[in-house]
Structure formats: C-alpha cells, structure tokens
Chain A
C-alpha cells in the first residue's frame, strides 16, 4: 500500500462524505413515502414524520385496499400482465429481429438495418400514432398496450451487437452438422446470450412497469387499466387546482397517505427485484459501451 499524501486524505474523506450524501438523497424520498404511509394523516400533515413512522397505523393501506371497488388491485393485476406478457413478447420479437441482422452474410442486411435505424431519429409523432391505432381498431384494447413500445430499436442494436460478438466458428461447425438457422439460434446463440437477454428484458420490464402515457390515452375500460394510470390520477388530483372546482358545490377529501401507500406497493416489485437484477444491467451497459 502506497502511503497517501495529506491532500489525498482530505480528498478521500470529502469524497466519502459526498458519496454518503448521494446515498441519502437517492434513498430518502422513498423512505419518506414508506414511513409516511405507515403514519397517521395528522402526523404527516403536521410534519412530525421524518425518520420513522409516527402514530403507526395501517389506515392508509386499508383505505387503499377498498379504494374505488378495489381499483388498485385490479390495476395491479393488469400491470403485472402487461409487464410480464409484454416483456416476453418484446424479447421474442427483439431476438427474432436481432439474430438475422447480426449475420454479416445476410443479403440485404444493410437496407434492413437502415429501415429500423431510421426509427431512432425520426418518428411520426403523437397524433399520427394515435390515429393509426384508431384505424387499426386498437383503441381501448389490451393488444394496443402490448404492441406500443414493444420493440425498442436501441435494444435491438444492443442484442445484435451481442450476437455479433459470439464467434462465428460455433455457427460454422453447427452448420457442418446440418443444423438449421433456427436451431443454431435456439441451441447456441441464445444460451450464450443469457446476460444480454436478461439485461434487455430488464429494460423492457422496467419500461413497461412504469409507463402510463399510452395506457392513459387509450384505455377507457376500468377493467383494463394498469396501476400507473390509477396512480397518475391520484397524483394529479393531489397537485390539481381543479379549474372546475367552483362550478358546483362539491367537497373533496385529502387522500395523501393513501397515495403514499399506493406508491409503496407500486415500487415494491422493483425494490424486491432490484438486488437480483442490479448486477445484470451493469453488464448490459457494457455491451453497449464496447460497441460505442
């Protein structure tokens, strides 16, 4: 161990302190929401809740449990469906696209690649997209939610890069044994690409779990709505200056702690999965970085 100079010691200490601050800033807001959801409304609104729950209560969760005919749970189920099913679909399509495009000998590869790359730089825009979904009769349909954002061109490029990094010799020898392209992909390339597949699945999953915009625009049927849309309504209500509030004599009740409780259950899967997936996405980014 080389002895550190005093200036280095100062730097290292400052750096440590700074990093501890980073940890606090990153985690505290979530911690606050969690403890607030277990505290009484009055304790939260009087600012007593800071580090641990005050006046511990499960009222917020009880309120959430029965909110609007169990809307939270129904939408939770939908979110799981859209995230898990959607991610699977995304992965299948991404692999099916990335694999052929990773072959240098594929005729027309350049043109086909160009066809998808262009989507990264220019899009049709919100209105044409919306009208297109209308013309496809996909408004208020679960299929639309699965299809929107199903393929991310960026992820296809990542996947393709990873496939390209697998030695061609493996493919060559399998070919000599008479294996078809499909079998080569299934038996050789996919097993070798597990880290990349995990990473990209994770990207898709997080994206789907957290998305709300198109679901909010397209879905009208209560039974199909995902959790983020319900949350969005609650959150916006909290911030809203309802311009129409004065039109009629209507009183509203504050649901702040219930919103916190909902947030807690909405982030829960992420927090639980987090330690397991954390190690993957560093590798995943590496895949991209090697290419860059």
Chain B
C-alpha cells in the first residue's frame, strides 16, 4: 500500500515536472500501458472507426497504443450501434458518441470521472479546458465531474464560423435579367420567376427553384426569423423554434411558396444526391449547403449543363431585414469520448486522450500525417498532391483517412484547402462579415431533467416534424390548426421540457 502511494506520488511529481519543463512523454514508464484499447466509434450513421485509418496508425506509433474498433460499419444506424453496445456485458475501453448520450451513460455509471486523471496525467487537456471555457462547460456533467473529452472541429479561437451558405444559379438570373436577391421577398420573386419563366429553356416548368439535400426546410426557416430547434428568444429565454409565433408565420409563407412550386415537392425525401440530380439535369435553382462541395458543381457539370454558374450569394435579409446565417459551427462539435467503467488502463487512456490535444495531436487531426497528407514548405503546411487531387473532395478524403470528430482541436485547413475560388469567396464573405449567429452554448441536463426529457422529447419532436410536413404540403393550413397544435404539444409536455431546458441553461449562464 505504502509503496503504491509513494509511486503515485512520484508519478505525480514527475508529471508536474514534465509540465513545467514542457516536454512530453518521457514519464510514461510507471504507468502500465496496454498495446491495444478497444473503442466504440460509430456516428452520423456512417463514420465508423477503422483500424486502417493512417491518422490513427500514426497516433498508435507515437503513443504506443493501438485502438481496436468494436463496431462494424455494416451497421448502418449509429443509434442502434450505440444502444446495443450499452447492453453488452463488458463495455469497450473507450466510448465515443454524442455528448447528451454520454451524459446519460455517465449518470448510469458507464463512464468513470476523469477530473483526477486529468489533473495528474493530462496537461494538454487541462490547457484545452482553460483556453476554451465552452468545452469545459460541455464536458461538465450535472454532478460537477468531467466524464468525457469533447472536441472542436475548426479551432477554438473563433465562434460561429459559417458552415453553409446560399447558392443560386447566376446564369439563370442573367438569362432572365434579374438581380441577385437581397431580401426574402426578392428571393421569393426570383425563385418564382425561375419556376414560371423557364430559365432552362426546355419549354417545361420542370425547374425546382429551391431544393435541399438534407434537413428539409430547417435552414430556410431563418429567412422568416424562425427556427427548427432550440434558440434564445428576445428575453433571453430558451424556446423551441417550432412553438413560436415567428414559426407560425414562416409556415404560412412557406406553404404558399410550396404551392407556387418554389420549394421542391420532394424536399423531405430528395436525399443526399439532390445536388447531383438537380444540377446535372439543369433543374435546380437555389439551395443552402456547404460551401466547399456545393461550389464544385460548376466544374463537375460544365459539359452537361453549359454555362452552369451556381454561386454563393449574401444571405437574403430576413423578414426583419437582418442579414444572418444560422448554420454555423459551434465551438465544440458535439461528439466526445470517455473512459468506460470496464477500462483497465484509465491512466494510459487519459494520456492517450491527452496526446490528441497536444500540438502534435492537433496537427495530426487537422492536417493528417506528415509526408503522406502534408509537407512543410517554408514553415507552412501544404497538402500533398494525393490529398489535393482526391476526386471525392478533400474533406471526404481526409475523413476516410481518419480525420474525424474526436476529443481534439481540428483546423479549418482541410476545408479551406478543398475550396475552390468560388467557395472561398463565399465562405470568406460570410466569415469576414460575421453573418454567423453564435449558437446556444452547450449545457447539460441533470439526472431528473434528463429522465423527463427522455420520456417526452422524441415523441414531441416527431409530432412537430410531422405537423411541419403537413402544413408545408398543404394537407392542413397553419392558421386553422395552430391552436390545436399548441394544445397538443402542451399535452405532450412541451412546457415541462422548456422549463427544464431553461433551468439547465440558467445554471451555466
């Protein structure tokens, strides 16, 4: 016993020394390091940990710990992968998933608290929490402990970097002699003209003026100052967008748009190939999507659709005249990893986590492996030709090399490198003018609150989304059924959920 105590003291001092001198990794000898740790990583329904990822292989080389994935990518549903993992007799050593789910797991005793481990062994994690208060908040469970390490997609220095932007067919505008729309009303008129004045010139009104690849009308709602999810209202109170008066107005207007043929009739079901389908056939007019990939279509379909000029535009001012963009990256990406109760090497694991937040780890995540993915030229990191010429696009390529959302701080480099001039121009315009609306900072529900949420939340949001489709498609009119709608969501305990969200939010304010 005494001996153990002394050793741990020694380790602690050694670590402190290491911290002070700023060197890395020389004191590991006293901690039992396994060769392999198991990890559960399956998110977004298709990102699944793969041992062949060069980025993680490099990390294994540096840290001496190889990760072995416990879930196969043949499971096409992340929720199923996660919930069936929970029932297993032994949990994997490392569990990676969304922060709300991990919070629940921690409460049930599936994750171990990391506070002491971080203090003792993880200077980089400590530093990360110091430099990024939001990350610390995101990681802190209702009981005050830290159970998982969150991460950031594109750095922690700048909040609300835009993710998506508005794209429109400039060639159609020119052909019809229209100006770029600057307000929601102008956007409506332009799109209506797209529908009625046959910009593709095939004699049929087969144009789909406004389409979306995913998310239905969520992003379009911002034009009406409405929202599809939680946001802060004028009084600083958290409300669910689909219960607000602004949403009611938005749905009334959008139903009109839908009826006029402006909105893609298949907006909820078009699917991930929407841009390919509608741009290659010269039918799509306007969308709201990621800069990098959307800007690539002009080249991709230059031959099929001569003159295709699909470019980003300044967000049309919303009904209140505000120019803004609500799809932004939060400081944290919402995914995290933690150490499970069955992990036999918590010290080694926390050191592994810590590696990813060191300079070396951040670079590895942000740029990949030196020599393979990037080279240093004149002190600047430059992507190799293999990366730059990846035909699936650089972000997708790098993702398949292991650049995924883990507990580290990534960089914008990959995305910027993948942007052509069109994308860069749009992105920089949005970024420099600070159109991005900062998202609600992350907060965690406590045990009881979580219980209530789990009981009602899914049913409630499903109901709301179904109702949204009915209104949009004109099955019911929003004015006739709004009161009934509010009554139903009240019965479905919406206000109870709103209250617990605000309680939780107020705790971090």
Contact = CB atoms under 8 A, between A and B. Distances in A.
Nearest to B51: A222
B214 interface: yes
A250 B270 CA distance: 16
Interface residues of A, number: 39
A78 to B, nearest CB: 11
Interface in A216-268: 216-222, 225, 229-230, 232-233, 236-237, 240-254
A130 interface: yes
Interface string B76-91: 1010110011011100
B45 A242 contact: yes
Contacts of A139: 84, 87-89
Given A139-B84, A241-B272, A242-B272, A249 B72 contact: no
Interface in B80-106: 80-81, 84-85, 87-89
A226 to B, nearest CB: 10
A252 B399 contact: no
Nearest to B271: A241
B420 to A, nearest CB: 13
Interface stretch (B174-182, B190-198, B287-295, B492-500): B287-295
Contacts of B85: 220
Contacts, number: 104
A248 B268 CA distance: 18
Interface stretch (B24-32, B312-320, B390-398, B481-489): B390-398
Name the residue in A241, A245, A251 with the highest tally of chain B Cβ atoms < 10 Å from its Cβ.
Answer: A251
A134 interface: yes
A134 B76 contact: no
Given A217-B80, A251-B293, A245 B72 contact: no
Contacts of A225: 72, 74
B456 interface: no
A36 B84 CA distance: 37
Interface in A90-126: none
Nearest to B80: A217
A217 B392 contact: no
Contacts of B392: 251, 253
A220 B75 contact: yes
A267 B152 CA distance: 46
B46 interface: yes
B256 to A, nearest CB: 25
Nearest to A69: B52
A110 B269 CA distance: 55
A209 to B, nearest CB: 17
Interface string A128-163: 001100100101100000000000000000000000
A236 B45 CA distance: 11
B76 A241 contact: no
B413 to A, nearest CB: 14
B71 interface: yes
Interface in B192-227: 212-215
Contacts of A8: none
Contact of B289 (A218, A230, A243, A246): A246
A177 interface: no
B395 A248 contact: yes
B476 interface: no
Nearest to A226: B74
Contacts of B76: 232-233, 236-237, 240
Contacts of B71: 220
A219 B44 CA distance: 20
Interface residues of B, number: 40
B73 interface: yes
A248 B415 CA distance: 11
Nearest to A248: B44
A252 B215 contact: no
Interface in B257-290: 268-273, 289-290
B70 interface: yes
B142 to A, nearest CB: 26
Nearest to B164: A246
A250 B88 contact: no
Contacts of B44: 244, 247-248, 250
A249 B271 contact: no
Nearest to B90: A137
A230 B74 contact: yes
B390 to A, nearest CB: 10
A134 B72 contact: no
A241 B89 contact: no
A250 B396 CA distance: 5
Contacts of A131: 87
B46 A242 contact: yes
A254 B273 CA distance: 9
Contact of B215 (A68, A75, A130, A246): A246
A68 B46 CA distance: 13
A68 B214 contact: no
Given A137-B89, A139-B87, A250-B395, A245 B75 contact: no
B294 to A, nearest CB: 9
A219 B89 CA distance: 14
B45 A216 contact: no
B268 A241 contact: yes
A217 B84 contact: yes
A246 B213 contact: yes
B431 to A, nearest CB: 15
A245 B276 CA distance: 14
B270 A241 contact: yes
Interface string B423-445: 00000000000000000000000
B26 to A, nearest CB: 37
Nearest to B71: A220
Contacts of B52: 69
19 contacts: A68-B73, A75-B74, A134-B87, A139-B84, A140-B88, A217-B84, A218-B84, A220-B84, A225-B72, A229-B74, A237-B76, A240-B45, A241-B268, A241-B271, A242-B46, A245-B213, A247-B214, A248-B290, A253-B392
| Pairs A-B, 5 closest by C-beta atoms | A246-B214, A249-B290, A245-B214, A245-B272, A244-B44
Interface of A: 68-69, 71, 75, 130-131, 134, 137, 139-140, 216-222, 225, 229-230, 232-233, 236-237, 240-254
Given A248-B44, A251-B393, 12 more contacts: A216-B75, A219-B72, A221-B70, A233-B74, A241-B271, A242-B45, A242-B214, A242-B272, A246-B213, A246-B215, A246-B289, A249-B415
